[in-house]
Amino acid sequence: MIQLPEYKKGVAVYGLGMSGLSVIRALRESGNKVYASDSDPKKCELAKNLGADIIDLAQFMPDVERLVLSPGVPLTHPAPHDVVKQANQAGVPIEGDIDLLADAFAKMDAQPKVIAITGTNGKSTTTALLSHVLKQGGFNVQMGGNIGCPVTDLELPVGKDPSFVYVLELSSYQIDLLNRLPIDIAILTNITPDHLDRHGSMKGYVDAKARLFGLVKKTGLCVVGVDGTWERELAETLKENNQNLVTVAFDNDENRASSVEPDFWFADQRLHRAADISVPGSLGASDLPSLTPSSISFAGTDSLRGLHNAQNVAVAAAAAQALGMQDEKISDALKTFPGLDHRMKPVAKLDHVLFINDSKATNAEAARQALSSFENIFWIAGGVPKSGGLDGLDDLFPKIQCAYLIGKASQDFYDHLVSYKVNAQICGTMDVAVRQAAADALERDTNQDCAVLLSPACASFDQFENFEIRGEAFCAEVETLRREYMRGVA
């Protein structure tokens, strides 16, 4: 757990999920007075047991140092939460748990490096992949933020450890609350429409992502995937501001003709690097002064299946090289990456049917990546729909043998799919969907591989607390089927 200073005043914490409770533990262990509240009485009881004073912060804001706000609480859109209004009226600064790392750094002789990763899709895979690559390269890596554990549960380096690196996944909600954390490398994978209700518009969403790069040190590095218009515009702005910039792209005509020439691009199962990349020596890459042209082998594996993963590999490799890792070590590390739970994760194979857990696909663009990676798909989708629903996926519908729909989106998704002449069934719940999809897939010709794919294109909150629990429910049902199947075969 990180070590925080003892603040002159108490600290208010609103939103007592995993990160909120972690913040309270860290504050209390540092001797701080904590005021906390949440709409859930059970969570308030947990906070009380940790030593927090439970008060209604939405009704009264005490004289405190700051308000640490859960990223799930509306800051501006669709309207500021009452606790935000109370803090603003009282003149109390609002921030998230991520900024507390900056306070921990202030007590240290040498600040560890920080890599912050964001993007609409791919940020979790990239965070896990980069952490894996750096560990294989001998770095002491702490991974957290929007993935794994909260930042206040992370460890601090012992002494002056030049190999120590924080690799943090940050959502747009977390970046909205970020103000003080100094960043060595900021990474943007991509931007597509998402969370527009929380940011007011696409511009508001893009601006939230762009805020991350304003916290990059002058000696730091910005790594931007430039496969889309929004990303290229951001890269152009960073270039105009004279920030150290490395861009990555797929090798297509649109990008190659862009005013932002990519420094890394993917072609022929290899990641290629241009010759004229400037990497700040302070990042530990002084032994790579010229970054001569080279390429990194990347042959798709089950854990990095699909073209979209080439982008994840590209931005991760660019960051690893900026920290001094050599091409050969990066290539070796990529081959041993085990994959990310709930993201295109194979969980079982029965005869000719592969079962894939892609529960993390909470929007259509994320589901597109999975649908693009398989053939003969028996697709489980649904939940709480995002803006646009299934729009933009129609070119992939010929791959779908049948869709099995669950949750609130069932009827709307059914109507959409049948309008494109896609077979679809409303199953309602996960157990029904898995069993029906498995039965239909197993009846297919055994010479033709099939995929039962959970890739919901929806949030999980109608039936599951989060996408992880949704994915675990899928895996549990598949495991039950596997046992039944093996008994039948025996």
Residue 87 and residue 187 in one domain:
no
Report pTM.
0.79
pLDDT grade, residue 240 (50/70/90)?
Answer: very high
Residue 27, pLDDT > 50, answer yes
Residue 64 and residue 190 in one domain:
no
Q: Which range of residues forms the domain containing residue 441?
A: 345-489
Tell me how far apart the alpha carbons of residues 427 and 446 are, in angstroms, rounded to a whole number: 25
Residue 255, pLDDT > 60, answer no
pLDDT value for 345: 86
Whether 84 is covered by a domain: the verdict is yes
Whether 3 is covered by a domain: the verdict is no
Domain boundary among 310, 335, 360: 335
Per-residue pLDDT reduced to its tens digit, 196-221: 777 778 898 899 899 999 999 998 99
Residue 387 and residue 437 in one domain:
yes
Count Cα neighbours of 265 within 13 Å in the Cβ-side half-sphere. Answer: 18
Q: Are 348 and 479 in contact (CB under 8 A)?
A: yes
Per-residue pLDDT reduced to its tens digit, 28-69: 999 999 999 999 999 999 999 999 999 999 999 999 999 999
Domain at 411, CATH number: 3.90.190.20
Residue 470, pLDDT > 60, answer yes
Mean pLDDT of 408-424: 97
Whether 469 is covered by a domain: the verdict is yes
Strand bridging mode 353-357 / 424-428:
unpaired
pLDDT value for 288: 34
Domain at 323, CATH number: 3.40.1190.10
Q: Are 275 and 153 in contact (CB under 8 A)?
A: no
Residue 451 is which amino acid? A
Domain at 64, CATH number: 3.40.50.720
Residue 116 and residue 250 in one domain:
yes
Lowest-pLDDT choice from 21-25, 248-252, 328-332:
248-252
Residue 229 and residue 377 in one domain:
no
Residue 65 and residue 189 in one domain:
no
Residue 292 tokens, joined: 């001569």
Tell me how far apart the alpha carbons of residues 171 and 47 are, in angstroms, rounded to a whole number: 24
pLDDT value for 344: 86
Residue 141 and residue 223 in one domain:
yes
Specify the DSSP class assigned to residue 6.
-
Residue 458 and residue 399 in one domain:
yes
Specify the DSSP class assigned to residue 337.
-
Residue 468 tokens, joined: 């992880």
pLDDT grade, residue 286 (50/70/90)?
Answer: very low
Residue 23 and residue 124 in one domain:
no
Whether 222 is covered by a domain: the verdict is yes
Whether 269 is covered by a domain: the verdict is yes
Whether 233 is covered by a domain: the verdict is yes
User: Percent of the chain scored above 90 by pLDDT?
Assistant: 63
Residue 413 and residue 308 in one domain:
no
Domain count, the chain: 3
Domain boundary among 305, 335, 365: 335
What is the four-CA torsion angle of 436, 438, 443, 446, rounded to 10 degrees?
170
CA 411-413-417 angle, 5° bins? 120
pLDDT grade, residue 280 (50/70/90)?
Answer: low
Whether 349 is covered by a domain: the verdict is yes
Mean pLDDT of 132-143: 96
Residue 17 and residue 137 in one domain:
no
Mean pLDDT of 256-273: 70
Residue 353 and residue 327 in one domain:
no
Domain boundary among 42, 62, 95: 95
Specify the DSSP class assigned to residue 155.
P
Whether 288 is covered by a domain: the verdict is yes
